[in-house]
Structure 1
């Protein structure tokens, strides 16, 4: 019998710890609802936090994107398509309040596109709804290049472009 099996049999806790160390994210995703999920990019330069929405809102998720080592906080929303098969996201920075024009919204939009969820094996699906277990990873196509072309980019602002894939880091309480 292999030594690792013998050790695990003698100390069941050792086997449980080994499973958690090797594969920690699925347990975290099961414990965290999507509306409380916190994600980071591969370089840990950006953090994306989901926040709960009221059930009567057409917006399915609200989120905040922060840039590490800056005071920058961009706000965003996710709206479901009519068929609930897609999640259309938008991240905005320093948008004017009150009556705004389409040009105003375009100027303050940092990123817009579909938000995709992924498990650790890379299977793509739609973003989980509120109350569902958080996705292990998010894919926001062209997030990095969009930030580089936006008002969020520049001296005293973001100077590192994030990857388009963000991984689950934790859960808001």
Structure 2
């Protein structure tokens, strides 16, 4: 087991149905399928019990750094928006890494359809979310590591 979650179930769950949990602030990352004909490689929601936090996010491949970059966005405007508009509603931006507890290997987030990794590392996530409007309602600063909790049912 990793944390208090069963690791064997991660290998039987595609990443687009995986749910990960962070135990300190009790935040979950819930992945969803990104859909067809989209530049997004992943969609996810950050859900927290404290303050009823729900933040939508996505992952895009950045060809300049050759890495998938995740963005957690809160109440972004719709339609024709500027870079400043996006920056103002970005709660966290960074690379999500996948970590394998058994081997210790750390790699990039796998593509949709691949097995869910046992844990995720989101560098700088904890301080970023604590500094956001959601931070005031939190009793603990989140860590940057999330462990596999469960596989969501097929939609």
Q: Residue 135 of structure 1: which of 92, 105, 117 is its match?
A: 117
1:5 matched residue in structure 2: none
Shifted more, 157-166 versus 115-124: the winner is 157-166
2:21 matched residue in structure 1: 40
CA distance in 2, matches of 1:111, 1:158: 16
Residue pair 2:51, 2:134 contacting (<8 A) in 1 also: no
* 1:92-119 superposed Cα distances (whole Å, 9 cap, x missing partner): 1121222222222111100001110001
**Structure with higher helix content:** 1
* 1:98-154 superposed Cα distances (whole Å, 9 cap, x missing partner): 222222211110000111000114310111111110010000001011112223332
Deviation of 1:45 after TM superposition, in Å, equals 1.1
Q: Which has the higher contact order (CA 8 A, sep 6+)?
A: 2
| Structure 1 counterpart SS, 2:52 | coil
Cα-Cα RMSD: 2.2
Which runs of 5 or more structure 1 residues have no equivalent in the other structure?
A: 1-18
Q: Residue 99 of structure 1: which of 76, 80, 90 is its match?
A: 80
State the aligned residue count: 149
1:165 matched residue in structure 2: 145
Shifted more, 75-84 versus 119-128: the winner is 75-84
The TM-score with structure 1 as length reference comes to 0.78
The TM-score with structure 2 as length reference comes to 0.86
